[in-house]
């Protein structure tokens, strides 16, 4: 074969995006959502330039996205970084967003967007006003790390799946947020859910076979540990259509019981080092129709690592 699969996929994705709409007919106008995740912005490795190029690439789609969801890990790392270093990254993020898009930008909190949970490495005490999730929230002027908005007849629900544990973090939705989510699903509108750590993403399992134990294993830091409880909420609500995630830097789609779970790759690919496993630096674009139908494409935005 002259073509590797990835080249073929990339060619197909570009062609599809070039059409006026991805999928359906012209009956009703969809809302277009760009899901750009895992920027890992930093002054090094041309990450600022790259993030800007990715956003501009998305803005040049025809039609352009109506909204952008930033899927978390927007900065390279605040978890184990000192205050000055965290500030450099957040400043660069703010400037890059302001200069390259005028669309509503809905931020999802990622584990690397938390400041100082590694208190030793970040030289924090936990008493700093911006410590933990507060810096990210202040940056985007939000009072809570989970929230919902509505566009084009859809409810877009942003979750915070980053849960602190004694040795770092896990994927988990704690009780208060869980009850809030239950309430958000009580609508007749179709629902899209976005989280950084996936609710469920089978690509986490792909490299997880352990020949010593004979098990396929995935750690609690890669998916949401109480997903099965979340799924039970979805089982009762057929208006839940699609769940997006970041975190893994891989791209896949899983369909179970009427819900599509998409892991959205990474704008930064292999953390600005190029391709990660099978996937180029990319983002996800979705068209959402008011009647609940949706279509998606992964879009490689053309980054070449230095």
Partner 1 sequence: MALSRRDLFAATAGAAVSRLGLPVAAPGQPLRFAHMNDFHIQPEARAGEGVAKAFSHMRERNPKVEFVFGGGDLVMAGQNVEEARMRVQMDLLQRTLKEGMDRPFYPVIGNHDIWGWNKAGSKTTGNEPLWGKRWFQDAFELASTNFAFEKGGWKFVVLDTVQPKGTAYEGLVDDAQLDWLKGQVAGTTPCVIVSHIPLFAPGNFVHAWNEEAGQWRMGANMQVRNFLAVKEVFDRQPNVKLALSAHTHLLDRYDLNGVAYLNNGAVCGNWWRGRYRDFDPGYVTIDLWPDGKWTHEFHRWGWTAE
Which residue ranges make up the site for partner 1 (CB under 8 A)?
1, 3-6, 8-9, 23-24, 200, 202-207, 209, 211, 214-220, 222-223, 225-228, 231, 234-238, 252-258, 278, 293, 295
Residue 136 and residue 109 in contact, taking contact as beta carbons nearer than 8 Å: yes
Six token digits for residue 19 = 């059409």
Which CB, 24 or 180, lies closer to partner 1? 24
Which CB, 92 or 262, lies closer to partner 1? 262
Residue 272 Cβ vs partner 1, minimum distance, rounded to whole Å = 23
Residue 65 and residue 110 in contact, taking contact as beta carbons nearer than 8 Å: no
Report helix, strand or coil for 296. strand
Which CB, 96 or 221, lies closer to partner 1? 221
Which CB, 87 or 231, lies closer to partner 1? 231
Residue 263 and residue 250 in contact, taking contact as beta carbons nearer than 8 Å: yes
Residue 260 and residue 253 in contact, taking contact as beta carbons nearer than 8 Å: yes
Residue 199 has what DSSP assignment? S
* DSSP calls for 59-104: HTSSSPPSEEEE-S--BS-STT--HHHHHHHHHHHHHHHHHH--S-
Residue 138 Cβ vs partner 1, minimum distance, rounded to whole Å = 33
Residue 153 sits at the vertex; the CA angle it makes with 152 and 155, to the nearest 5 degrees, is 100
Six token digits for residue 257 = 């019981």
Which CB, 76 or 266, lies closer to partner 1? 266
Contacts of 274 by beta carbon, 8 Å cutoff, 6+ apart: 281, 303, 304, 305
Residue 39 Cβ vs partner 1, minimum distance, rounded to whole Å = 24
Report helix, strand or coil for 25. coil
Residue 152 Cβ vs partner 1, minimum distance, rounded to whole Å = 17
- Tell which residue, 153, 249, 246, has the closest CA to residue 195: 246
Residue 258 Cβ vs partner 1, minimum distance, rounded to whole Å = 4
Residue 223 Cβ vs partner 1, minimum distance, rounded to whole Å = 6
Which CB, 8 or 149, lies closer to partner 1? 8
Residue 253 Cβ vs partner 1, minimum distance, rounded to whole Å = 4
Which CB, 81 or 282, lies closer to partner 1? 282
């Amino acid at each position: 074969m002259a073509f590797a699969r990835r080249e073929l996929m990339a060619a197909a994705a570009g062609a599809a995006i070039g059409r006026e709409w991805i999928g359906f007919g012209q009956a009703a106008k969809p809302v277009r959502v760009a899901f750009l995740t895992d920027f890992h912005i930093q002054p090094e490795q041309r990450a600022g330039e790259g993030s800007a190029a990715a956003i501009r690439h998305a803005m040049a789609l025809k039609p352009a996205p109506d909204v952008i969801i930033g899927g978390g890990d927007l900065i390279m790392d605040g978890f184990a970084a000192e205050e000055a270093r965290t500030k450099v990254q957040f400043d660069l993020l703010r400037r890059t967003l302001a200069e390259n898009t005028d669309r509503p930008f809905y931020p999802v909190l990622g584990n690397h967007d938390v400041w100082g949970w590694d208190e030793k490495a970040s030289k924090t005490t936990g008493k700093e006003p911006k410590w933990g999730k507060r810096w990210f929230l202040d940056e985007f002027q939000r009072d809570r790390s989970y929230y919902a908005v509505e566009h084009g007849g859809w409810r877009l629900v942003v979750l915070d799946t980053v849960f602190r544990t004694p040795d770092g973090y896990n994927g988990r939705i704690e009780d208060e947020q869980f009850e809030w989510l239950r309430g958000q699903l009580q609508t007749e509108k179709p629902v899209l859910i976005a989280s950084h750590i996936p609710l469920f993403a089978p690509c986490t399992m792909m490299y997880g076979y352990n020949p010593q134990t004979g098990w396929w294993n995935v750690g609690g830091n890669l998916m949401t540990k109480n997903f099965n409880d979340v799924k039970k909420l979805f089982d009762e609500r057929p208006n839940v259509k699609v769940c997006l995630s970041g975190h893994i830097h891989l791209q896949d789609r899983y369909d179970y019981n009427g819900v599509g779970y998409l892991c959205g790759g990474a704008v930064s690919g292999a953390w600005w080092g190029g391709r990660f496993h099978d996937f180029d630096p990319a983002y996800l674009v979705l068209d959402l129709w008011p009647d609940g139908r949706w279509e998606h494409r992964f879009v490689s935005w053309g980054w070449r690592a230095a």
